[in-house]
A and B are shown apart, each in its own frame.
Chain A
Amino acid sequence: MSEFFKPKTVKECIDLLDQYGSKAMIVNGGTDAVEKINTGKAQPEAVILMTEMKELKKITVKDGAVHVGGAVTYLQMLKNAEIKKNQGMMIAVGAIGSPPVRVMATPAGNVGTAAPSADCTTMLMGSDAKIHVVSKKEGERVIPIDKFFVKTYVNVLKPEDLITEVEFPAMQPGMGSGYVRLTRRKVQDIGKVLVSATIEVKRGRCTKAVIGLGALNATAVRAYSVEEALVGLSRKEAQEFCRSGLPKEAGLRPSRYTHYKEITTPVALERAVMMAWDQAEGKVK
């Protein structure tokens, strides 16, 4: 028989995690966690709820970075003035699940689940995000998201770890973001191709690019080859480059959808980059 806990502080929480280790399960929104329980993949003895963790329910901006607390929900993000400036993030978060799912689900929880086809994870990848983690034994650490995933559904965390926040750069003038997902129906579908882009443009040329790819490789990945190639290009050159081929980081495995992903990923990439480009040049309200 399992029991539940409602820690009020991070300290209380990591003490519990230290005590129960792999027998504990953090339940944030519940959308991933309860499915694991339903399918028998997890049978925790201690359910640790985040409902009372006020310090993790905040979204703040500090030193040019947005800090999204570990218990912040997607609905909260969509209503936040700072997030609203981030075009790609709004699209990605707004596409997750459905409205009732977004009331409860959290970016911290989804990052923890490490699914390869997750929208917010892919957008965070394309935002050069950092994951803040704490545990009783190891204290606080900051892990860049492109070092966070090991393989499908596996991340670098230990059972005693708690994600306290997800951090990514705030939008500045000359900066834009975009997100494109290819699905089978318009909403409530896990995408087959996910592309995120954060672009900086100065005098008509790209000065920095961060590109995230999801649903292609075993985890969400950064497309460094694309990022390097985009720097210095004009808009038209960037469009042509994106369309020219599949990024090598896509790492497609054979499946029913392999050919589809091959031919449409360049399209999704171009559309995501151009969406970001337009915002960077001030063309998006």
Chain B
Amino acid sequence: MKDLKVVGHSVVRSDAFAKATGAARYTPDMIPVDALVAKVKWPDYPHAILKKIDVSKAKALPGVEAVMLAKDLPGKNGYGPMVADKPVIADGKVCYEGDPIALVAAVDEETAKKAVDLIEVEYEVLPAYDNPFDALKPDAVIIHPNSPFAEEGNICNTVTVTTGDVEKGFAEADYIIENDYQTPYVEHTYFEQDICIAEYDWNTGGLTVTSPNQAVFQGRRHMAAVFGIPQSKLRSLCPYVGAGFGGKEDACLDVTAVAGVLALKTKKKVVFQLNREEVFRTTGKRHACWIHHKLGIKKDGRITAVQAETYLGKGAYVSMSGFKAPAYAVIQRTAIYAAGTYYCPNYKTKSVGVYTNTPYGTAFRGFGVPQATFAMECQMDEAARLIGMDRIDIRRLNMLKAGDMMVTGTYAMAERGLGLGECLDKVRAKSGWDKPFDHGKWPYLRGRGIAAFMYGTGIPLMFEGACVFALINTDGSVQLNYSSTEMGQGIATTGAQMFAEEMGMKFTDIEVHFSDTLSSPDSGPTVGSRSTVIVGNAIRDAAQKLRANLFPVAAQMIGAKLGFTVDTRDLTADDSVIHIKGRPDIGLTYAQVVAKAYISQVPLAVIGMWYPPHPGFQQPSGHGPTMHTFAYGVHYEEITVDMETGMISVDKSVYACDIGKAINPLIVEGQMEGAAVQALGWGVMEEELFDTKRRNGKMENATFHSYMIPTAMDVPEHTSIIVECPNELGPWGAKGIGEPGIIPGAPAIRNAFLDATGISAGKIPLTPYEVMNLVEADQKKKAEAKAKKAPAKKSAKKEG
């Protein structure tokens, strides 16, 4: 086996120099000086009927070039990453703070702002709901009445999974643990605000749109209908992106729709940029979840049954929560991951997405799996505590092993990499799990906790697959084009690493052109932790095809020099030289070979492609193949709790992830570490709040000083451990790591809190206020229990 020269090495990213010197251009750095500035009239209420809109004063303001209402739109007044349900401009009704009432394009920002302020609107205010339960009350106002995108009333969609027989499973259990869990709406806080520069194309009557966008082709499919032009006349491109975390799969469509329709109307360039407050109020969030979870276990720790009912606060539009077949997404994940990474023979889940008057629930790192895993990992600690079993041992006992049936009816395969056991062992050793632990002294109590995860690579939908384009120039330099978005996860670098390795070329000979519908075929959206594997395999395929074209030419040329026939199997390539195996000095550079191929009717450009095993998901069973491989991980967190102020300090973190093969280890660690800190934020400080009492349901905390994300002082001393249990279908064994890093951190912190205080928390974030509520309730309960003694019970049921 050849030693890998590029893959598996922490090569410096190809964009590092540009980003370290300020030369890197993002969309906000490219605004043309002659672009009109767009602004939107946002609603004053998150739920209201629009009785009257008067734009006459805005239209009359000098410097205003266009004012648009719903009736002025050129194409479909509906779009979304999955279904076309979100209006470009509100037509008669607004369902959340981000529904545009009117669009303005003016010569500069000041004029556009003035024009928006001159628009007068009369509302009939409706009650605004920020959670599923208020929206499901019998007297609740229906947010989307008579809509093809609502299953019934305010229910968007229901997904179920049934395996085995949970009644039987619970009957077999020695203990039943039943609890409620709650996770909040969360903000991505990607640093680059959403923006689109739309330019009318006078040659074609079409548009070029530039926007930070995780899915240029997916977006184009929807935007073309909005603009009323064929997809082939819409060029969608995206430069470096200042992070996305899933949010820029949909928010980009919001800004593109506005900028694009105004560009078409004015036949000019239009820029529409959201300021930070607008990003908070109008773009998509992580779905808030309310989970009722029931776990059955035997006294030896084995799981017999899991039953979970999940309600998702799905926001005002479908976005990425999923709708009917085949568009299952976040809702589906909450239904299939409720037993986490464990073997569970009897399983029944129901997940219900309910419309609320909050920003649409969209993709956010983990895509519903963090929420589902949170509940299960909390339950596992409750189980361990109840039966007196070590918390690592109980996870090891139940973890999916080769041949185990998963809750979707498919099977865990060793060939796809089952590395959870190794992760558990390494975390156990590195964290000092078996050493005595200092639990601190009142009021500073200390605790430690762990959580485990599994997370599938890719999108379990029928279109999953990737195409890339590669061409080699006559000077031996390569253009490798794929539609993935470089948003910090390093795909522009790792894609080149994989191509270089497969070709036997120098990493620096490969130039990647990314995320532009002009330059490449559809490599699929940059989501689902899929790029390394699915796009990577297509990149390998392209390299193999190009080699297959060039090696015969090289064999002939080398043979001519040596005076006898050389077979292509006698050749290999290293450092951009094709040579006789073992003799790098007997060969030719790729440039020399290409020069000959060019005049020998040998194609110098290829399309690479790859498709995973075809997914399928049936309802109501929830059975079918979803993802072909899964990443695994274990996160250990140590905390200190100030029991008098509620402040939690996360002190130490040890994190192991099985990612199959690290194409670039430093990049993989960076993904794990960034995600781990997002998990910390989710666990102790991040939540979107909506003020139904004083602000008619508008968002309360829409700035960086009212929505807290971790600073360098909030993060623990951290160790990342890469585990590699290869996926036979992944490039060099790789699996995806973009998302799953975020999954176990929050339940690990919650479990550490349980270890420190003996208090079972059901809700995150564990802000100081939430902690003090729990501490007070616990102290009250202890005082009451002292007064009367309760008999020991078989089933453990707690107030949340």
Contacts and interface: CB of A to CB of B under 8 A. Distances in A.
A184 interface: yes
Nearest to B715: A186
Interface stretch (A49-57, A78-86, A140-148, A260-268): A260-268
Interface string A253-285: 000110110011001100000000000000000
B708 A185 contact: yes
Contacts, number: 47
A190 interface: yes
Interface string B697-712: 0000000010010110
A264 B645 contact: yes
A268 B772 CA distance: 14
A98 B767 CA distance: 21
A268 B645 contact: yes
B768 A186 contact: no
Contacts of B689: 256
A190 B705 CA distance: 8
A260 B768 contact: yes
Task: Report which residue of A98, A264, A268 has the largest number of chain B beta carbons within 10 angstroms of its beta carbon.
Answer: A264
Contacts of A190: 705
Contacts of A103: none
B768 A263 contact: no
B772 A260 contact: yes
Given A190-B705, A263-B776, A267-B644, A182 B768 contact: yes
B370 interface: no
A229 to B, nearest CB: 21
Report the contact-size class of chain A (Cβ under 8 Å from the partner). Answer: 10 to 19
Nearest to B643: A267
Contact of A185 (B685, B772, B773): B685
14 contacts: A183-B768, A184-B685, A185-B685, A185-B710, A185-B714, A186-B714, A188-B705, A189-B705, A189-B708, A256-B689, A256-B769, A263-B776, A264-B768, A268-B645
A22 B769 CA distance: 41
B772 A263 contact: yes
Given A187-B711, A268-B645, 19 more contacts: A98-B711, A183-B647, A183-B768, A184-B685, A184-B708, A185-B710, A185-B711, A186-B649, A186-B714, A188-B705, A188-B711, A189-B705, A189-B708, A257-B769, A260-B646, A260-B772, A263-B772, A264-B646, A264-B772
A26 B713 CA distance: 33
B645 A184 contact: no
Interface string A169-188: 00000000000001111111
Contacts of A189: 705, 708
Contacts of B772: 260, 263-264
Contacts of A188: 705, 711
A264 B685 contact: no
A182 B642 CA distance: 11
Interface in B634-670: 644-647, 649
Interface of B: 644-647, 649, 685, 689, 705, 708, 710-711, 713-714, 767-769, 772-773, 776
A264 B711 contact: no
Nearest to A188: B711
| Interface hub of B644, B711, B713 (most chain A Cβ within 10 A) | B644
Contacts of A263: 772, 776
Contact of B644 (A186, A257, A264): A264
State the majority secondary structure of interface residues on B.
loop
Contacts of A267: 644-645
A264 B644 CA distance: 7
Contact of B713 (A182, A184, A187, A268): A187
A183 B710 CA distance: 13
Nearest to A97: B705
A184 B649 contact: no
A182 B645 contact: yes
B645 A186 contact: no
A118 to B, nearest CB: 13
Contacts of B705: 188-190
A62 to B, nearest CB: 37
Given A189-B708, A260-B772, A263-B776, A184 B644 contact: no
B626 to A, nearest CB: 37
Contacts of B644: 264, 267
A151 B685 CA distance: 30
A263 B710 CA distance: 25
A42 B647 CA distance: 37
A183 B705 CA distance: 12
A44 B711 CA distance: 34
A184 B711 contact: no
A17 to B, nearest CB: 28
Q: Which 4 A-B pairs have the closest CB atoms?
A: A186-B713, A267-B644, A260-B769, A187-B713
A57 B646 CA distance: 40
A188 B707 CA distance: 12
Contacts of B685: 184-185
Contacts of B776: 263
A176 to B, nearest CB: 21
Interface in A182-211: 182-190, 192
A190 B704 CA distance: 11
A95 B121 CA distance: 44
Contacts of B708: 184-185, 189
Interface string A117-157: 00000000000000000000000000000000000000000
B716 to A, nearest CB: 12
A186 B767 contact: no
Nearest to B712: A187
Given A260-B768, A260-B772, A182 B711 contact: no
Contacts of A187: 711, 713-714
Nearest to A255: B694
A183 to B, nearest CB: 8
Q: Which of A184, A257, A264, A268 has the most CB of B within 10 A?
A: A184
Nearest to B705: A190
B769 A182 contact: no
A40 B776 CA distance: 43
Contacts of B769: 256-257, 260
Contacts of B714: 185-187
Contacts of B649: 186
Nearest to B644: A267
Which of the listed residues B645, B713, B714 has the most CB atoms from chain A within 10 Å of its own CB? Answer: B645
A183 B685 CA distance: 10
Interface in A215-259: 256-257, 259
Nearest to A189: B708
A160 to B, nearest CB: 30
